[in-house]
Amino acid sequence: MRVRILGIGMGPRHLTPEVADALRDCDYAVAARKRDDDGLLALRRAVCDVHGVPLVVVPDPERDRDDPADYRAAVAAWHEARVVAYERVLGERGGTAAFLVWGDPSLYDSTVRIVERVAERGVVPVEYDVLPGISAPQLLAARHRIVLHEVGRPVHLTPARRLAEAVAAGQDNIVVMLGGRPAFEGLAEWSVWWGANLGTDTEELVAGRVGDVLPAIEAARTRARDRAGWVMDTALLRRTS
């Protein structure tokens, strides 16, 4: 059978023509349900409805979402449980299946790794390909009308839990993803361009000096969560020269 891993940005408006064509050629899409009121699952369902593709929902295996002592091992165990769950669905249904990835499959998402693992196990013979989508950093830059890096300079991408490590290593132009409440300790003089639920009807944007705008970010983040039932935020942090 065939699996198509499709980057869908933040919903129906962000599908590229290439991804839309690929999705319509699929027999069904597969998605995990993380909780009963899963807003991101609802958006995936909306994408499928627009393109006339049925959605097969798989209960997501439990995961230790605190900060376990062995983070990599905890994530690996969760991924392996997902492999088994998806393998079961693919084996039962066959055909061509789509996995709809928020943003772009190359950036802080493990769908490619999980499908690769399904193929390696060989319980279900699988061929797969990957099509790109619009990522959160791209949306952040567009909404704030900025370039993510200064002329001839790099940009460093990191999950929020490793922000302090990046700063300590001398990084001074940092895109932060997968954060909880913003925690920019010691960065009061830095500049920040922040966004939550980018590309959706509950999008929030704040920019300015970190020390000045943290209360505004906290308030905007609360508004986004209250309106959508979930919040995903991204920020560019830059040391003031």
Beta-sheet pairing, 28-33 with 96-101: parallel
What CATH number was assigned to the domain covering residues 2-131? 3.40.1010.10
* Distance, CA of 167 to CA of 173 (rounded, Å): 9
CA angle 122, 125, 130 (to 5 degrees): 105
**Sheet with 28-33, side-by-side order of all strands:** 55-59, 28-33, 96-101, 2-7, 127-131
CB atoms near residue 8 (< 10 Å): 28
| CB 130, CB 5: distance < 8 Å | yes
- From the list 193, 196, 181, the residue with the least C-alpha distance to 233 is 196
pLDDT band at 67 (very low <50, low <70, confident <90, very high): low
Summarised one tens digit per residue, pLDDT across range 17-61 is 999 999 999 999 999 887 666 777 888 899 999 999 999 998 877
* Distance, CA of 173 to CA of 150 (rounded, Å): 9
pLDDT band at 66 (very low <50, low <70, confident <90, very high): low
pLDDT at 161: 87
Taking residues 83-94, report their average pLDDT. 92
pLDDT at 37: 67
| CB 124, CB 118: distance < 8 Å | yes
At residue 205, the 3 state secondary structure works out as: strand
**Global confidence as pTM:** 0.87
pLDDT at 60: 78
Taking residues 209-236, report their average pLDDT. 94
* Domain residue spans of the chain: 2-131, 136-238
What CATH number was assigned to the domain covering residues 136-238? 3.30.950.10
pLDDT band at 152 (very low <50, low <70, confident <90, very high): very high
